[in-house]
Amino acid sequence: MVEFFASENRGYTLSEVSRSLKLPVSTASSLLYTMQDCGYLYRNEKGQFFLSMRLVTQANQVIAQIQPREVAEPELKKLTGATRLTSVLAIRDGDQLVWIEKIEGTGPIQLAAQVGKRMYLHHTASGKVLLAYLPEAEVEKIVKSVGLPAATEHTITSTSLLKRELVRVRAQGYAIDDEETGLGIRGVAAPVFDHTGATVAAVSAAGAVFEMSENLKAIIGGVKTCAMLISEKLGFQQATAVKTYGRAWPRSRAVASRSTSLLSRSIITP
């Protein structure tokens, strides 16, 4: 009933609600007046019911209590379960990236770093995702502050190359760390959005290059799906994506489901 009222910004009479929702008049009446008594609806002199702002107040209280780390953990576990790779949730803290959750992979190569690890943003797939959705002036400010030091021979150390990479990340919806943080290590990351469409975190899966090479396409799909599901738990909606980025993001549930299924089938078992 809440969704019905929220679909259009107008009032409805008891008979309209009963007819539209295919409810007996007595049931619709009971629900409407209960919601009115609780402050979620108000009724005008013409007998039309409208949603009140109380719903917004309650929603804001819920949003304030949602922590990305808590909602992300079960999805990261699923991602690691499907890929056997280490999965990480990372956020930006000033000029650096910080890991706030990590699920250990079950493959032969383990990432030594733990929760709380700080890294340069341009080194990692997660960091590039977090940079990609910042204003260009903010990216330039970060580069000016910390520079673009190299971790390996593959690390991006040119501002112009970094900017081109960030354009590509925004276009495809994910980033790849191709031995840029450490030799022999590859990672894939996708952005996590909140209810306003802001990029608040990045999800990544990482492991040895040989672990990822044969299944890279499926792993990318799995990481994007994981990020999408976490974003939805934080209140992100497709309408927000279109308004903010001019296109639907992340992908639809149907496509995400197929990608996850493909990932589960394609992982090499020992």
Q: DSSP of 158-216, one letter per residue?
A: -HHHHHHHHHHHHHHT-EEEESSSSTTEEEEEEEEE-TTS-EEEEEEEEEEHHHHGGGH
Query: What pLDDT score does 139 carry?
Result: 94
Is the pLDDT confidence value at 65 over 60? no
Residue 154: which of 127, 123, 126 has the closest Cα? 123
Is the pLDDT confidence value at 252 over 60? no
Q: How confident is the model at residue 64 (pLDDT cuts 50, 70, 90)?
A: low
Average pLDDT over residues 181-192: 92
- The rounded percent of the chain whose pLDDT value lies above 90 is 51
Residues of CATH 1.10.10.10 domain(s) within the chain? 2-63
Query: What pLDDT score does 266 carry?
Result: 37
> Domain 66-266: which topology?
Beta-Lactamase (3.30.450)
Quote the radius of gyration of the chain (alpha carbons, Å). Answer: 23
Residues of CATH 3.30.450.40 domain(s) within the chain? 66-266
Query: What pLDDT score does 59 carry?
Result: 67
- Contact criterion met (CB below 8 Å) for 121 and 92: yes
pTM assigned to the model = 0.68
- Contact criterion met (CB below 8 Å) for 235 and 195: yes
- Contact criterion met (CB below 8 Å) for 5 and 49: yes
3-state SS of the chain?
A: CHHHHHHCCCCECHHHHHHHHCCCHHHHHHHHHHHHHCCCEEECCCCCEEECCHHHHHHHHHHHHCCHHHHHHHHHHHHHHHHCCEEEEEEEECCEEEEEEEECCCCCCCCCCCCCCEEEHHHCHHHHHHHHCCCHHHHHHHHHHHCCCCCCCCCCCCHHHHHHHHHHHHHHCCEEEECCCCCCEEEEEEEEECCCCCEEEEEEEEEEHHHHHHHHHHHHHHHHHHHHHHHHHCCCCHHHHHHHHCCCCCCCHHHHHHHHHHHHHHCCCC
Is the pLDDT confidence value at 270 over 70? no
Q: How confident is the model at residue 58 (pLDDT cuts 50, 70, 90)?
A: confident
Exposure b/e, 117-129, CB count within 10 A at least 16 = b: bebbbbbbbbbbb
What is the spatial distance between Cα 203 and Cα 130, in angstroms, rounded to a whole number?
A: 10
Average pLDDT over residues 10-37: 93
Spell out the CATH class of 2-63.
Answer: mainly alpha
What is the spatial distance between Cα 208 and Cα 196, in angstroms, rounded to a whole number?
A: 35
Is the pLDDT confidence value at 36 over 90? yes
